Amino acid sequence: MKVFKNFTDYTSQTPLALSLGMFDGVHLGHKSIIDELLKIGSENNLETAVLTFWPHPRFVFNPNEDLKLLNTLEEKKSLMEKYGIDNLFLKEFDDEFRNLTGEEFVRQILIDKLNVKYLIIGYDHSFGKNKSGNFELLQKLSKELDFEVEQMEAINIHENNISSTKVRNALLAGNIRTANEMLGYSYSVSGTVVHGKKIGRTIGYPTANIETDSIKLLPKKGAYIVEVSVKGQLYKGMLSVGTNPTVNGEKLTVEVYILNFEGDIYDEKITVKFRDFLHEEIKFEGLEKLIERLDEDKRLTEKFGF
């Protein structure tokens, strides 16, 4: 997959089948668009492309908003490549771009610069200044500018449309299985293992503290069953998102106890995939009660089928 930071880097005149949007999470709704792009590309000898924005436009419009994303940039790139996209355009949402009307965007960017011959958009997608671009505009321009346009229907799970917002809300409610079902894969968080207070090792549950990307959404505070990838090996794990209230912690941390693992992994990058929710964050009366709960969490994690 070729990645372009701006359109001036792109010089190919190979016609494109393209879709545009944020694609945060690259969930099953997005996957249906990508699958259609691949089908159209194969049938019409077109390269496939996704045009997305980095950073998220909401960071531009609302710089003080504490927006968390489902994907880091590396995760988004990885998913797009895994699903078979040929070209990924990562456009900065700068002043010049944000002031383009929907029609100017189609004429100047999609047609003149990118040579788009087939455009696929999501069921609720709008674009351009003041959201002046929509499916109706595309239908009108397609005849004049000689491209085809298709609007995808919403993908439903349990009679609910899938969206990045709904995935985000499921994670924030601790509904891991629902979120994973909408994503089509297990939600993951990656980061570097850093030094913590090392309290876990004193009670038989040494944990790896993970320093995560500041823009990455963390699920609600609580304990989770996770799958841990360390140095190419997979392990079961129990992960805590929270402040460790039993020992009067204040800082939000992400800590994972890796079952059947020994070794020094400080400064290593590890990835955890969330598989199920165990329980809310609890402030125990003492370490004995905490250990009892950890023992039960370990039993449930060992029993959980990966």
pLDDT tens track, the chain, 306 positions: 999 987 888 887 799 999 999 999 999 999 999 999 999 999 999 999 999 988 888 877 777 888 899 999 999 999 999 999 999 999 888 878 888 999 999 999 999 999 999 999 988 788 888 888 889 999 999 999 999 999 998 888 877 899 999 999 999 999 999 999 999 999 999 999 998 877 778 898 999 999 999 999 999 999 999 999 999 999 999 999 998 887 777 789 999 999 999 989 999 999 999 999 999 999 888 889 999 999 999 999 999 998
Amino acid sitting at position 56: H
Please report the pLDDT score of residue 13 as a whole number.
78
- Alpha carbon of residue 294 to chain centroid: 29
Q: For residue 238, which phi and psi values (nearest 5 degrees)?
A: -115, 120
pTM, 2 dp = 0.93
Q: If 0-12 CB within 10 Å is exposed, 13-18 middle and 19+ buried, where does residue 208 land?
A: buried
Task: State the Cα–Cα distance between residues 29 and 15, nearest whole angstrom.
Answer: 25
Residue pointed to by tokens 């009670």: 203
Helices then strands, each counted (H, E), the chain: 9, 14
What does DSSP say about strands 253-258 and 160-161: parallel, antiparallel, or unpaired? unpaired
Are 102 and 108 in contact by the 8 Å Cβ rule? The answer is no
Task: State the Cα–Cα distance between residues 19 and 117, nearest whole angstrom.
Answer: 11
Residue pointed to by tokens 């060992």: 302
Please report the pLDDT score of residue 172 as a whole number.
97
97 token code pair:
């771009």
Task: State the Cα–Cα distance between residues 139 and 213, nearest whole angstrom.
Answer: 40
Task: State the Cα–Cα distance between residues 61 and 93, nearest whole angstrom.
Answer: 10
Please report the pLDDT score of residue 133 as a whole number.
84
SS3 state at 27 = coil
- Please name the residues in contact with 144: beta carbons below 8 A apart, sequence gap of 6 or more: none
Please report the pLDDT score of residue 87 as a whole number.
96
Please report the pLDDT score of residue 280 as a whole number.
95
Helix spans in the chain (H):
28-44, 57-61, 73-82, 95-98, 102-104, 135-145, 164-172, 176-183, 287-303
Please report the pLDDT score of residue 12 as a whole number.
79
Q: At what angle do helices 164-172 and 176-183 cross, to 10 degrees?
A: 160
Task: State the Cα–Cα distance between residues 188 and 193, nearest whole angstrom.
Answer: 15
Please report the pLDDT score of residue 157 as a whole number.
83
